[in-house]
Amino acid sequence: MKTLRYSVVRFRPFVETGEFANAGIVALEEPLGLFAFKLTSRRVRRINQFFHDIDDRLFPTAIDMLKQELGWIRDAAVKTGGREAFEFLTKQRESAIVFSEPRARAFEGTLDDEVDALFDRYVNRKFATEEYPEAQLTREIKSRLRQSHVYGYQQYQIHDEIVSVTFDLASKINGLRVIRPLAFNHKSTVAIVDHGARWSQRFQLLLERGRLVRQNVLVPVSQEVDLAEPHAAEAKEIATGKLRDLGINVVDTEDFDAIVAFARPGSSTPVSSTLS
């Protein structure tokens, strides 16, 4: 069995907002150290609709420069291996092109096929349902908790006469603690706001009825939105604002340090919001 380490290439023109658009995949096959990548160049119109204050040339120019750089790395990796280059690329950087925190998974096929599949998922957004991104986030958080030696989080249903809710990440080791990732990949602003309102209402009822306590609820929120809807980011902020108003912990799905800190047995200190 081989291991694939990969990172999602993101276009983030404004550091202040933290909003980004997925633009490609870089990957490393272990133990061989083979390096591969795939970048988009067909989303210029959608990118400019979303980030409407940027120069039209910024995205294609950034992608062209990155494509050239990654091509050099891939050619060099044939002789020297791509491990060091992959580690260097995925370090935090302050530029319009950034990389997600590296992730890993086992695979049996070819490196190119795996990169294509990841590209379809993260860039082309070929999801089976609107719930798929949240299921994927849940799996990634479970994996990161295991890597950090945090155990005990599993599916749990809160039974209540008014509202019964099932959480895929819950622990009763230190009181009932729940982690519920949310993604707002919906195709319309109404759907985004409705999705946030639905979960805000559920949490509010569970809090009011004493089924949960605020400091024991964590909601990791994905920053990604559908670029076809120019007001999607604004709708996401409205949705997450309702969650913050409840006083529960809301963080970025990429802030694994905060997620692990919340999940560790004995933790009782609320985490700080890492969303803009």
pLDDT, one tens digit per residue, over 138-186 is 888 988 898 889 988 998 989 888 888 989 999 998 789 999 999 988 7
β-partners of residue 93 are: none
Give residue 128's pLDDT.
Answer: 44
pLDDT in tens, 14-71: 777 777 888 899 999 988 888 999 998 756 666 766 676 777 788 888 888 999 988 8
> Are 50 and 230 in contact, with CB atoms under 8 Å apart?
yes
Q: Of 78, 93, 122, which marks where a domain is finished? A: 122
- pLDDT of residue 191 exceeding 60: yes
Q: Indicate if the pLDDT at residue 137 is higher than 90.
A: no
* DSSP letter for each residue of 102-113: PEEEEE-S-HHH
Domain end (from 59, 88, 122): 122
Long-range CB contacts for residues 162-169, cutoff 8 Å, separation at least 24 = 162/205, 162/209, 163/202, 163/205, 163/206, 163/209, 165/202, 165/206, 168/138, 169/138, 169/141, 169/142
d(CA 138, CA 179): 9
Domain with 180, as residue range(s), is 132-263
Q: What is the pLDDT of residue 73?
A: 84
| 274 has pLDDT over 60 | no
Percentage of the chain exceeding pLDDT 90: 32
> How much is the average pLDDT of 228-246?
87
- The domain total for the chain is 2
Residue 169 belongs to some domain of the structure: yes
Q: Is the pLDDT of residue 131 over 60?
A: no
Asked if 103 and 203 sit in the same domain, the reply is: no
Helix, strand, coil distribution of the chain in percent, nearest 5 = 40, 25, 35
**22-31, 121-130, 264-273, range with the lowest pLDDT:** 264-273
CATH number of the domain to which 190 belongs: 3.40.1350
**Spatial separation of the C-alpha atoms in residues 202 and 262, rounded to whole Å:** 21
pLDDT of residue 273: 52
Q: Quick one: pLDDT at residue 45?
A: 66
Burial grade of 235 (CB within 10 A; 0-12, 13-18, 19 or more): buried
Between vectors from CA 255 to CA 254 and to CA 260, what angle results, nearest 5°?
120
Cα(205)–Cα(199) distance, integer angstroms: 10
Instruction: Tell me what the mean pLDDT of segment 126-136 comes to.
Output: 65
The stretch 2-18 carries a mean pLDDT of 85
Q: Which of 122, 145, 161 is the last residue of a domain?
A: 122
How far apart (Å, rounded) are the C-alpha atoms in residues 104 and 70?
Answer: 20
| pLDDT at residue 81, as a whole number | 77
Mean pLDDT within 124-133: 60
Sign of CA dihedral 19, 21, 24, 29: positive
Residue range 239-252: mean pLDDT, rounded: 94
pTM of the model: 0.57
List the structure tokens of 96.
């319009």
Tell me: do 41 and 108 sit in the same domain. yes
Whole-number mean pLDDT of the chain?
A: 84
- Mean pLDDT for the stretch of residues 63-85: 84
Q: Specify whether 184 is located in the same domain as 76.
A: no
* Mean pLDDT within 104-121: 85
148 and 235 co-located in one domain: yes
Tell me: do 191 and 151 sit in the same domain: yes
The dihedrals phi and psi of 222, each to the nearest 5 degrees, come to: -75, 140
